[in-house]
Structure 1
Amino acid sequence: MLTAARLGAAALSAALLTGIAAGPALADVAPPTVPDGLYGKSDPTYDGVWRQSLALTALTAAGITPADSAVGWLTGQQCEDGGWPSFRNAGAACDAKFEDSNATAVAIQALVALGGHQEAVDKGVAWLKTNQNADGSWAYNPGNPGDADSTGLAVNALFAAKTDPAGVAKAGKSAFDGLALFQLGCAAPADQRGAFAYQADPAGGALTPNALASAQAALAAGGGHLPVATSVRADAAPKALVCPSDASAAPGPVSHADSGEAVGAHLTAQLAAGGAHLTLTTPGAAPTPDYTATAWATLALTQSGHPQQAAGAVDWLTKEGATWTKGGTDAGATATLLLVAQAAHRDTAALTGQLTALGPTPKAAEATASATQAPKEKKEDGGIGQYWLIGIGLLVGVGGGLLLSLQRKRNSHL
């Protein structure tokens, strides 16, 4: 089985729960040197493309124009067939068995957010179409059974690329059909309805609710992608799945029309029960807060028009953020937390500064908030984020970059 680092924010926590291998094993080798242009200083073997894509998406949404080296590193990781591996050394040939749908999906979303990379986006979408399973789902690595996390991320990428998931199909099964395979419906106990399982039990096909699978699949079920747009707002809580009194009368999958609200209702209940956060339960280990699943739950709820149901979790993530991001030195976690803050219209200045310091000096920082940040955010942070961005732009313009340099030196000794 792959290590937890490789799947990181993607699917492995669910794979560990089910005991199902997520992809080919890798031999123990010395960790590679962190390449120029890559965000973060940790070993990129298992999450290089993942964290780079999240960082570029979040910084672009913050009005930062990333360095050419940062964008070039991501585009340079793409294989000729259109897919991305988690990481490959510069100049190393692509190995199709190490290309994965999670890296490909977030890379597509990053390049769409950056703009100007349509050819790479089109090749990535074509790769997803080619490697869709016959049941409509996606696996982490092609050739394996599909899972909810990978299928949800693929659907996110299709939405970002303006490709209707309903029209992306294999053997007559669309991407929405694939996603529905993992959602618990009326046949499940009432408190589990709407949740997603990572995969069905290979022995009997039973579905067991999983926090990360539910949170990541929820963004896709709600029609969203990264960065999350917040143009829709509902006044009511998500609608729980409506079932007949005799649950056996409705054994079929949850319809796509009901899917987003059903999982939103489940996540809302789980957040309330868990003290505003979701929990990671791994066999043989004590339950622990699941920062990644909680973050994706807030993004999904906000995307679906339910930011009020996400607010408590956003507060919790803000409070616990330093622990999750290791003081702002974990690029993937910091980028995800920044995406959460942007979607929730919270103060993003500190997170933007931390994430910027983890990579190459940006080309420019826009003086105004990006289109994905609503005016409300600028009002709530008192203009601090805007002035910070202007300051960074001036530093870059005069060739100083002193603040960023000092921060990088500090992080190099952590």
Structure 2
Amino acid sequence: MNVRRRSSATALAAIAVIGVAAPAVAADPSPSTSASGPSGLYGSADPQFDGVWRQSLALLAQDTAGVVPSPKAVKWLTDQQCDNGGFAPFRADPAKACDAKTMVDTNSTAAAVQALWAVGGHGDVVESALAWLKSVQNKDGGWGYTPGGPSEANSTSVVIGALTATETDPEKVRKAGESPYDALLASALPCAEDGGAFGYPDQDGKLLANADATAAGVLGALGKGLVTEAGEKAGGAGCTDADEPTREQAAANGAAYLADALAKDGHLKSALGGSAEQPDYGNTADAVVALAAQGGADKAAKPLAWLEKNAAKWAEGSGPAAYAQLILAAHATGADPRAFGGTDLVEKLNATGPAPQGAAAKDTATASAKAADEDEKKDDSGFGVWWFVGVCLVFGIGIGFLLSGRNKKQQP
């Protein structure tokens, strides 16, 4: 799901390569502001195209890692909402009402819903955002990036994630009798021609096999959001065609496509702007999440190992969304995000924005238990040891007196 959340230059390059229409330059035309000030935004890069997206991912990643986000960071996100319930990628002046030039989009809105639901306490914002998403649902049951745009797997899947995260059954969110799953399955491509991938439409509307859309489509077909855990372990069955595949079969086919694409190098590749193919870290992280969700952590072991070995430098240069993607990949596979190839991803993410409040209650309890254990160990190795020695000395002295008394009694 990287196309919609890259910087402007990268996004335009991606559009040129895969031939999709630009997402309406998805941003408020207002000048951007620095993220390094007291705004509460994570990251210092220009937020014009991805401010809400990366903030949402950062909050989600912190929540999965047991971190209570900064109220300032949460407020930054809630302040970005327009009165109609939708979110644009970034609004430089949230006090200014949204107008026709404010390019709200489904991806920013659905990501914000998932993040704010996770941190809790913002039911009114979430309900308003969900109402907006339902109001712009297409007649085929799906969503495009912008309201009225053709439905595609990426956007439909991230909205499905927002619905299921908020305990809303996507099957019941219908337009003209069609559900989001109906629209998503329409993007599932056959095995014989495209290996079971989910497609993304080109300028002519033709669906082209796309790893980014496939990773998103697998999660959407399973009814999963941006945050998920490993599913039940599945066998290594390949792609299987069917006239009308079920959601589960479409997800399995998509996973087979991703596994095949990852088989050689352990990572996906991209060639933006006509450049030579380069490792695609973000899509590889998304593929890890999708594979783990569909068939268990073992299915994602190879690309996860590659990320652990190679992704730290990429994340350092890319910012909070990259750290968040890796944390979500670690969460999906049961890996430790605080020891990810020798990097504490959580600490690195926290350092890109306002300091979090602290650890969640369950993690605080765990920390307290660990501290108690350490204290007990210290007692055992410190005071406890000397107490034991003292008892032994007293006991020894007592024995000495006892033996001395006996000796005296035995003397003639």
Find out whether 1:151 has 2:156 as its counterpart: yes
| Residue in 2 that maps onto 1:411 | none
Choose 1 or 2 for highest CA Rg: 2
Q: How does 1:351-390 map to 2 (within 5 A)?
A: 351-366=345-360, 368-369=362-363
- Give unmatched runs, 5+ long, in structure 1: 244-249, 372-377, 388-414
- Asked if 1:295 is matched to 2:300, the reply is no
Structure 1: distance between partners of 2:220 and 2:196: 14
Superposition deviation, residue 22 in structure 1: 2.0
Letter in 2 for 1:307: A
Answer yes or no: is the 8 Å Cα contact 2:61–2:324 preserved in 1.
Answer: yes
The equivalent position to 1:268 in structure 2, one of 250, 259, 272, is: 259
1:240 equivalent in structure 2: 239
Q: Any conservation in 1 of the 2:28–2:91 contact (CA below 8 Å)?
A: no
Deviations 1:197-217 (A, max 9, x none): 112x454x5321011111122
Q: Does the CA-based 8 Å contact 2:222-2:248 persist in structure 1?
A: no
Q: Quickly say closer, same or farther: Cα 1:27–1:48, change in 2 above 3 A.
A: closer
Are 1:271 and 1:278, in contact at CA under 8 Å, matched by a contact in 2?
Answer: yes
Give me the whole-angstrom Cα distance separating, in 2, the residues matched to 1:85 and 1:3.
12
The structure 1 segments of at least 4 consecutive aligned residues displaced by more than 3 Å after TM superposition are 1-4, 10-16, 24-31, 366-371
SS at match of 1:343: helix
| Candidates 276, 280, 286, aligned match of 1:286 | 276
- Per-residue CA distance 1:28-86 (angstroms, 9 max, x = gap): 87542225211111111111101100000110111111111111111111111111110
Alignment RMSD:
3.0
Corresponding letter in the other structure for 2:80: Q
Cα offset, 1:16, TM superposition: 4.3
Q: Does 1:123 align with 2:128?
A: yes
Partner of 1:5: 7
Kindly state the Cα deviation for residue 235 of structure 1 after the two structures are TM-superposed. Answer: 4.3
The within-5 A match list for 1:175-194 is 175-185=180-190, 188-189=192-193, 192-194=194-196
Alignment gaps of 5+ in structure 2: 339-343, 372-412
The amino acid of 1:227's aligned partner reads V
Q: 2:72 aligns with which of 63, 69, 72?
A: 69
1:165 corresponds in structure 2 to 170
Q: 1:163 to 1:25 in 2, by over 3 A?
A: closer
Distance across 1 between alignment mates of 2:77 and 2:135: 21
The answer to whether the Cα contact below 8 Å between 2:54 and 2:320 also exists between their aligned partners in 1 is yes
The answer for the alignment partner of 2:59 in structure 1 is 56
Q: Residue 238 and residue 2 in structure 1: after superposition, are their counterparts in 2 closer, same or farther (change >3 A)? A: closer
* Cα 1:54/1:123, change in 2 over 3 Å: same
Counterpart amino acid of residue 69 in structure 1:
K
Letter in structure 1 aligned against 2:55: Q
Change (3 A) 1:293 1:3: closer
Alpha-carbon contact 2:13-2:272 (below 8 Å) kept: no
SS at match of 1:208: strand
Q: Answer yes or no: is the 8 Å Cα contact 1:194–1:265 preserved in 2.
A: yes
Contact 1:58 1:338 survives alignment (8 Å): yes
The code of the aligned residue for 2:220 comes to A
**Amino acid across the alignment from 2:218:** A
| Kept after mapping to 1: 8 A contact 2:26/2:88 | no
Question: Does 2:316 correspond to 1:326?
Answer: yes
The answer on whether the counterparts of 2:233 and 2:298 sit within 8 Å (CA) in structure 1 is no
Match of 1:406 in 2: none
Partners in 1 of 2:40 and 2:145 — Cα distance? 26
Paired with 1:80 and 1:7, the residues of 2 have a C-alpha distance of 30
Shift of 1:26: 6.5
Q: d(CA) in 2 for partners of 1:346 and 1:178?
A: 33
User: Per-residue deviation at 1:223?
Assistant: 2.0
The count of aligned residue pairs is 359
Q: Distance in 2 between matches of 1:85 and 1:184?
A: 31
Deviation, 1:326, is 2.5
The whole-number CA distance in structure 1 between the counterparts of 2:130 and 2:50 is: 20
C-alpha separation in 2, matches of 1:121 and 1:7:
31
**Of 96, 99, 107, which residue of structure 2 is paired with 1:95?**
99
Match of 2:380? none
Contact 1:84 1:99 survives alignment (8 Å): yes
Whether the 8 Å CA contact 2:229–2:333 is kept in 1: the answer is: no
Amino acid at match of 1:219: L
* Inter-CA distance 169–6: structure 2 relative to 1 (3 Å threshold): farther
Compute the TM-score of the two structures, normalised by the length of structure 1. Answer: 0.79
Kept in 1: contact 2:144–2:150 (CA 8 A):
yes
1:117 is displaced (CA, Å) by 1.9
1:175 is displaced (CA, Å) by 0.3
TM-score (ref. length: structure 2): 0.79
| Structure 1 or 2: more helix by fraction | 2
Tell me: CA distance 1:161–1:65, structure 2 relative to 1, closer, same or farther (3 Å): same
CA contact (8 A) 1:55 1:331 kept: yes
Work out the CA distance in 2 between the residues paired with 1:155 and 1:91: 30
